[in-house]
Every structure is written in structure tokens, then in C-alpha cells.
Amino acid sequence: MNNENIGTQKKQPKSIISYLWDLPNIISLAGLCCTLLAIYFIILGVYSAAMIGMIWAVAFDWADGLVARRMKGRTGSDQMFGGHLDVLIDIVSYGVTPALLLLSYGNFEPAFLPGAFLMLTAGVMRLSYFSTFGLADGAYYTGLAIDNNNIALVFIFLFEGLFGAGVFSVILYASGLGLAALNVSKIKTPKLSEKPINVVLLASFTLLMTAIYGWRLL
């Protein structure tokens, strides 16, 4: 049997677009849409709207994993594709977006570039480490999972009105660097999305933040 015949007998991979109809991937892309909206409003300086996009990105990120674990009939390639898609979206949602938030709030002054770079670097290093080694002992992340960056920043932004823009930009800068340090630290943190109570807490937090920031937009 020649090589051409052997090649034709091999199972051909599905088309790229076919993975769009996988429900967990649809949910992941919904989170990416929220991230795009957050970036859009960050650039415009409408930070309340950006916060809504950032926290909903986390909600959809948690939801895609919950749905994927409960779906039956997904092949190994479906799971692998979804896993890679999730990591790539995480880079944008929890790496690029917080870094851009710092730059935008600092009026894109050069002094904010090092902080943004460190935040982005910590994010991609954290994701690369997880992609290589996975969970420690099958249950714990090494370093703070970077979805927590969005949760923390959305909470911190609640207090923006208590400070002048200059003071809060320093607070935001310090917070970003603190989160970056935690992302690449050796601390062990549990996978919060595994427990139903944490899912309920995130859902409640998401709705609460949406209500508060939505009210600020009115």
C-alpha cells in the first residue's frame, strides 16, 4: 500500500468552523465578546462599562468549564480544541485587558508602560506554566489564577470616586503589580470553579457589580 492510500485512510480533522457549534466554545466566545467590549470602553475611558465587560468575561469563563465537564460525547479533539481556545482567550481577557486598563487610566503616559508590561508578562507566564504542568496534585493552581485579576480590579474600581485620578492611578498601578507578583508566585490556590458555592458567589458578585456599575452609567 503506497503512502497516498495510507494518507487517505487517516481520519481527517474537522473543519475549523465546526468547532463553533460546540456549546462550551460558544460560551467561551461570548466571554471574548465581553472582553472586546471591555477593551472598547477602556479605550473610550468609560470605565464603569468596562468593569461590566470584565466581570462578565469571568462569568462566561467559569461557565464554559462547567458546561464542558457535564457534556457527554465530546471527543478528545473537542476537549483539546476547547482547552487551547480557553487559554488564548484568557490571555486577552486577563492579560491584555488589565494591562490596557492601567495604561488608559494613566492617560497612556510612558511611566505606566513598565507596569502594564509586567502585568502582561506575569499573565502569559502564568498561563504557559499551567499549560505545561497543569494543576498541582490535580486540585491546586500554582500561583494566583489570572481570572482573579479581573475580579480584584473590578472590586478595586468601586472605590475610584473616593480618590483623585492621580492617587487612584497609583493605587491601580500598585494593585496591578501586586496581582502580577501573585500570578507568578509559588502559592497554591484551589480551583474555585469546581465548587457550586463558589459558582453561586461569582454569579451573585457579577450581578451585583453589573447593577452598581450600570447605575453609575445612568
The CA distance from 88 to 91, in Å, is: 5
| Cα–Cα distance, 86 to 131 (Å, whole number) | 11
pLDDT-derived band at 115 (thresholds 50, 70, 90) equals very high
pLDDT of residue 31: 96
Q: What is the pLDDT of residues 39-95, one digit of tens each?
A: 999 999 999 999 999 999 999 999 988 887 777 777 778 788 888 999 999 999 999
Assess whether pLDDT exceeds 60 at residue 32.
yes
Strand, helix or coil at 188?
Answer: strand
pTM, 2 dp: 0.90
- Which set of grid coordinates corresponds to residue 215? 447605575
Mean per-residue pLDDT for 112-139?
A: 93
The alpha-helical segments, DSSP class H, found in the chain are: 3-9, 23-44, 47-70, 76-90, 97-105, 113-133, 147-156, 165-183, 196-217
pLDDT score for 7: 45
Q: What pLDDT shows up at residue 3?
A: 52
Q: How sure is the predictor about 18, in pLDDT bands with cuts at 50, 70 and 90?
A: confident
What is the CATH class of 22-217? mainly alpha
Nine-digit cell string for 59: 462569568
Note the pLDDT tens digit of each residue in 171-208. 999 999 999 999 999 999 888 877 888 889 999 999 99
